[in-house]
Amino acid sequence: MANCLVAQSGGPTSAINASLAGVVRGAQNSNEFDKCLGALCGIQGLMEERIKDITDVDVDKLSLTPSMYLGSCRYKLPSAQDAPEEYEKIFDILKKNDVTTFFYIGGNDSMDTVSKLHAYAEANNETIQFIGVPKTIDNDLCVTDHTPGYGSAAKFIATTLLEVCHDTAIYPIKSVTIVEIMGRDAGWLAGAAALARNNYSVVPHLIYLPEVAFNEDEFMEDLKDMIDKHGNVVVAVSEGIKDSDGVYITSTTAAEDKFGHSQLSGTGKTLELIVKERLGIKARSVEINIPQRTAGHSASLTDIEESIQQGEFAVTKAEEGMSGVMITIHRISDIPYTTYLSTTDINDAAGLIKHVPRKWINARGNDVTDEFIQYVKPLIQGEVNLKYKDGLPDYMDISDLL
């Protein structure tokens, strides 16, 4: 009897269950695994032995359900030197459940966990294999061309910017709309807003990413220029923009609330206040917030299909005996969009951040280049065939988590 076990970790995406569905389908089709087990709430839940058999789960429905079907955790596994008992516990539980391969679906923190467990196995002659399956809307994992979850987030962001364009265009007045997009360290998500542009609209007019120091005076100049040209101006901005000293823009407008606490506004709200104050013009801000990572109803078919493929591919790599690796995707060409799957040593991805290359941002630092657009465009293509029930998406039952 040999089982595989899979868990999910980090923040939600619309495609993380598609990766899970891929692993389950791979296990269903494999001669190597009898059962596919799922640990609830990541490595933390595994240590509490919160395990369920998901071998026969409805993979089609699962693949279109956003956020983690198995729950998540933010637990950072200590080193084996510091906490050997945790490692012993994890391996005991895995062995007790006849687990020969552990798949961990997550971002760079989760890859760090895979790295540590694999190293412990090697050092202690344990044969259990550990394979990382990437996901993060932030698209900031190294080695791989892009991460599962990013395409769906990019599609929702671009759709929202297009719809904001239709919303802001209706009044013949001058106004500024700031749209705040996730991304503390990397601007992949905010840059995707550029996809909203089409044959009738250049919205967003300006895009600011964390990779370039934000200069408030230049921002005012850029805005005045765009207001003169277009009247209604829409700005896409990463939450993580910082000034040339590396200080977050949000830190500059902390205000005291009625409890006497200093409260940071969001980046969008901060820029809205600056625009109102310095230009005296109608301004508002929109924070896309949680929906950009869980709007399963607007997922990218390309993203969902690639996520399933990476999950299935992980199982084939387990069958080949691999461990201590992360699944990667590599691009051969943009047009036609052609890729292949591979693996990389887990330590090449764990704990590292991939930024938007400086050459994919224009010289002024207020827009992305055509290269960026060519890169992200294939990732948002295609719409999922989501089932609806009573007017709402028919997602997987997550009673186990509620």
- 30, 101, 294, 366: which one contacts its own copies (CB under 8 A)? 294
46 near its own copies (CB under 8 A):
no
Closer residue to its own copies, CB minimum distance, 252 or 339: 252
Residues designated catalytic: 138
397 near its own copies (CB under 8 A):
yes
- 26, 38, 71, 204: which one contacts its own copies (CB under 8 A)? 71
Task: Determine the interface stretch with its own copies among 24-32, 119-127, 342-350, 374-382 (rule: CB under 8 A).
Answer: 374-382
Residues 167-196 close enough to bind its own copies by CB under 8 A: 167, 169-172, 195-196
Task: Determine the interface stretch with its own copies among 56-64, 338-346, 350-358, 389-397 (rule: CB under 8 A).
Answer: 389-397
Residues 222-241 close enough to bind its own copies by CB under 8 A: 230
CB of 139 to its own copies, least distance (A): 16
CB of 340 to its own copies, least distance (A): 22
Closer residue to its own copies, CB minimum distance, 81 or 388: 388
Q: What does the alpha-carbon distance between residue 108 and residue 349 come to, in Å, rounded to a whole number?
A: 7
201 near its own copies (CB under 8 A):
yes
CB of 322 to its own copies, least distance (A): 28
Residues 129-168: x/- map of binding to its own copies (CB under 8 A)? --------------------------x--xxx-xxxxxx-
Closer residue to its own copies, CB minimum distance, 329 or 384: 384
Closer residue to its own copies, CB minimum distance, 31 or 336: 336
CB of 165 to its own copies, least distance (A): 8
Residues 297-336 close enough to bind its own copies by CB under 8 A: 297-298, 300
Closer residue to its own copies, CB minimum distance, 73 or 212: 73
286 near its own copies (CB under 8 A):
yes
